[in-house]
């Protein structure tokens, strides 16, 4: 299968999963994760109608967004990787949505990194769905407090919802159900924060069934990632 066929196949599977869950496929945003692939692949994706792309490393995001092959294509860039406070200026300059806000310090730094008159930045609160506190994301019982902090203290950020990655050692449906519950706790603080970023190549159907609104799909569409040193 080539890129076009893989994209069409994934989109058909998204529609199937949405219909089986009694959901309208048009309410789902399919983000193509292009990490490790060249900007030329993003240009090919754009020609196939893709608008939303995701990157997990700031340097790669910055380089690709500034690449002449894609700069004028009107893409929406999603930063889905671990955020470092010393990179917030570059993240903010290159991302339209940041999916990985998982601590107050990072939110504060992102907030301060906005230039005068910069547009409000859409952010998602990343939830750690594993039992390992060392993984990225805020623990589920800390999400509401983080939402309250961002809403009260970060005027240039807009909390849109939650993001999560299903652990490898658990049924994705169970993990995504927990993520949806944390989304509800965020809405006690920010009532219109309805986005749920969940679902990758291996589990996007389960994520759709659990209410995901933003799917982050890489290899099923792009093919295997180039080996990276
Ligand atoms: C790489 C990545 C994805 C996409 O993974 P695939 O399994 O290739 O679909 C999704 N989310 C995050 C946070 C990632 O880093």
pLDDT of 7 above 70: yes
* Average pLDDT of the chain to the nearest whole number: 96
pLDDT at 116: 83
Q: Of 173, 141, 146, 139, nearest to 161 (Cα)?
A: 146
Whole-number Å distance, alpha carbon 227 to ligand 1 midpoint, is 15
**Which atom of ligand 1 is nearest to 219's Cα?**
8
pLDDT band at 100 (very low <50, low <70, confident <90, very high): very high
3-state class (DSSP) for residue 35: coil
pLDDT at 118: 84
- CA dihedral of residues 6, 94, 63, 197 (deg, nearest 10): -30
Residue 228: inside a domain: no
% of residues, the chain, pLDDT over 70 = 99
Q: What is the pLDDT of residues 113-124, one digit of tens each?
A: 988 888 999 999
Q: What is the pLDDT of residues 194-223, one digit of tens each?
A: 999 999 999 999 999 999 999 999 999 999
pLDDT at 117: 84
Q: Which of 27-31, 71-75, 195-199 has the lowest mean pLDDT?
A: 71-75
Residue 229: inside a domain: no
- Would you say the CB of residue 82 lies under 6 angstroms from ligand 1? no
- Would you say the CB of residue 218 lies under 6 angstroms from ligand 1? yes
Total domain count, the chain = 1
- Would you say the CB of residue 163 lies under 6 angstroms from ligand 1? no
**Which atom of ligand 1 is nearest to 163's Cα?**
13
Write the CATH number for 177.
3.20.20.10
Q: What is the pLDDT of residues 123-179, one digit of tens each?
A: 999 999 999 999 999 999 999 999 999 999 999 999 999 999 999 999 999 999 999
Whole-number Å distance, alpha carbon 100 to ligand 1 midpoint, is 13
pLDDT of 13 above 60: yes
pLDDT at 228: 63
pLDDT of 229 above 80: no
The closest residue, in CA terms, to atom 15 on ligand 1 is 56
pLDDT at 1: 80
Residue 227: inside a domain: no
What is the domain extent for residue 32?
3-222
3-state class (DSSP) for residue 160: strand
Whole-number Å distance between alpha carbons of 171 and 34: 26
Residue 179: inside a domain: yes
pLDDT at 224: 87
Q: What is the DSSP string of 2-28?
A: -HHHHHHHHHHHHHHHHHHTT--GGG-
pLDDT of 227 above 90: no
- Would you say the CB of residue 126 lies under 6 angstroms from ligand 1? no
What DSSP designation does 155 have? Answer: T
């Amino acid at each position: 299968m080539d890129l076009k066929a893989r994209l069409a196949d994934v989109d058909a599977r998204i529609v199937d999963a949405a219909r089986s869950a009694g959901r309208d496929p048009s309410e789902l945003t399919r983000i193509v994760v292009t990490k490790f692939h060249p900007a030329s692949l993003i240009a090919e994706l754009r020609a196939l109608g893709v608008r939303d792309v995701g990157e997990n490393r700031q340097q790669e995001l910055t380089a690709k967004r500034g690449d002449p092959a894609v700069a004028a294509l009107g893409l929406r860039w999603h930063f889905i990787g671990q955020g470092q406070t010393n990179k917030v200026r570059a993240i903010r300059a290159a991302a339209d949505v940041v999916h990985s806000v998982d601590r107050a310090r990072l939110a504060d730094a992102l907030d301060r990194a906005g230039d005068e008159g910069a547009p409000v930045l859409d952010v998602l609160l990343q939830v750690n769905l594993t039992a390992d506190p060392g993984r990225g994301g805020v623990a589920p019982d800390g999400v509401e407090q983080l939402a309250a902090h961002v809403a009260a203290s970060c005027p240039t950020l807009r909390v849109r919802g939650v993001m999560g990655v299903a652990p490898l050692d658990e049924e994705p449906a169970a993990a995504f159900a927990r993520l949806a519950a944390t989304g509800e706790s965020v809405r006690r603080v920010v009532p219109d924060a309805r986005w749920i970023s969940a679902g990758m190549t291996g589990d996007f159907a389960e994520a759709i069934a659990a209410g995901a609104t933003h799917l982050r799909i890489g290899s099923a569409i792009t093919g295997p990632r180039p080996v990276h040193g």
